[in-house]
Structure 1
Amino acid sequence: MGRPRSPQLSPERIRSGALRIIDEHGLEALSMRRLAEALGVRAASLYNHVATKEALLHDLAEDVMDTVDTSGFTVDWQTGLIRWARSYRAALAAHPHLVPFMASGPARRETSLRRADAVHGGLTGAGWPPRYATMIGASAKYLVVGAAMGSFAGGFVDDAEVYDERFPHLRDAHLLSEHAAEIDEASFELALGALVDGLRAQFDALAAPPGTAHPR
């Protein structure tokens, strides 16, 4: 009888296995050796499909960013910004352990750069000066990444005695963790809405003719 064949490897299967390890055990848990064991192959086999662990992480980041929606900028900049931010948050929140790797920037990743280009182009095309477009993209990213990295409401313990008397303004904080998903979603929407409303006023002020009093 011939030797048993190794399980079929493909870039897709490798990325799926790597993301599963990260999702379940954290970013530091991923190693090429552990990934090979999970896939039932030798570590050397992985290098026929991916050059390094770093390259694999960039591939995973590209897969995540591929789900981010920038189509709203064809409607107007407000729709584009809101749709991008919501889909960006959803993409990161689905894989929170990968967020620290992705938070530093797009590097040379094609899909990530394409999304960044679409956002910047959508804003400048609507009339925002390039400097403002850069700052708006950065501001929205800070909001999205912060929201995706953890739960504010889920960070409070559900023991009422912890807050009793010593922290009177937090007397209902023990209820937060029970409603964490709802509170976190509403908080993100509140912040995003406030950002867009503030930017809308700023946009109108920038577009006002010289000598026109800017709205306060």
Structure 2
Amino acid sequence: MARPRKPLLSTDRIVETARALVDAEGLAAVSTRRLAAELGVSGPSLYNHFRTKDQILEAVADSVSAQVDLSMFEDGRPWRDALHDWAVSYRAALRDHPHIVPVLARGPGRRPSGLKVADAVFGAMTAAGWPPAQATSIGALMRYFIMGSAIGSFAGGFVDDETAYDPADYPHLGQAHLLADRQEKVDERAFETGLTALLDGLEQQFRAL
């Protein structure tokens, strides 16, 4: 009887497994020993693909950047609409993988997908008529805003316990205990409010160019 073949170890499989670990347990859960156990291989075999844990996390971060839709920068949409739709797509990717945000916040570095995002935004802004320096600032501003929104939930930071908000101490927080149950709706509305205000401000600057 033929012996069963061991599953092939690939870079993609390592990244997918590491991403699942990060999603479920956070960055601290990723180690070569843990990954090897999850993959059913020996630890040293991982070094044929990645030399360090940091390289693995960089690859996970890039796999998340690859989920961001960039088509709006290529289909002729006005720059404001393109920025809006890209921001929504970017936030959705980060919302699905919030624990990797600290790695993404370091900047794209040498990550191919991260660099494609930066290139697409800068290229679209300069093509629309923004001066290069301001196009750079727009890319940075959008990244700060989107990543900041993905780090944590405002609504989720309130406990579902009415007694935690004594009117004598917090006279304006009588409904705060309801926020946790409405987390997604509150956070989505807050993101859209901030994004609209940000784009309104940029549009005023653009008209003044």
Q: Aligning the two structures, in what range does the TM-score lie when normalised by the shorter sequence?
A: over 0.9
Residues 30-109 of structure 1: matches in 2 within 5 Å? 30-73=30-73, 74-109=76-111
2:193 aligned partner, one-letter code: L
Any unmatched runs of 5+ in structure 1? 207-216
**CA deviations over 1:49-72 (Å, ceiling 9, x no partner):** 223222222221221111112222
Shift of 1:138: 1.2
Residues 126-145 of structure 1: matches in 2 within 5 Å? 126-145=128-147
**CA deviations over 1:50-103 (Å, ceiling 9, x no partner):** 232222222212211111122223311111111111111111111111110111
TM norm structure 2: 0.93
* Structure with max Cα Rg: 1
CA contact (8 A) 1:7 1:41 kept: no
**CA deviations over 1:182-209 (Å, ceiling 9, x no partner):** 1000100110011111111111112xxx
CA contact (8 A) 1:89 1:147 kept: yes
Structure 2: distance between partners of 1:7 and 1:131: 50
Tell me if 1:26 matches 2:29.
Answer: no
Structure 1: distance between partners of 2:194 and 2:20: 31
Alignment: residue pair count: 206
1:178 aligned partner, one-letter code: D
Paired-residue identity, % = 53
Structure 1 window deviating more from structure 2 (95-104 vs 59-68): it is 59-68
Match 2:192 to one of 150, 171, 189? 189
Structure 1: distance between partners of 2:107 and 2:113: 12
CA contact (8 A) 1:69 1:88 kept: yes
CA RMSD of aligned residues (A): 1.5
Structure 2: distance between partners of 1:128 and 1:72: 17
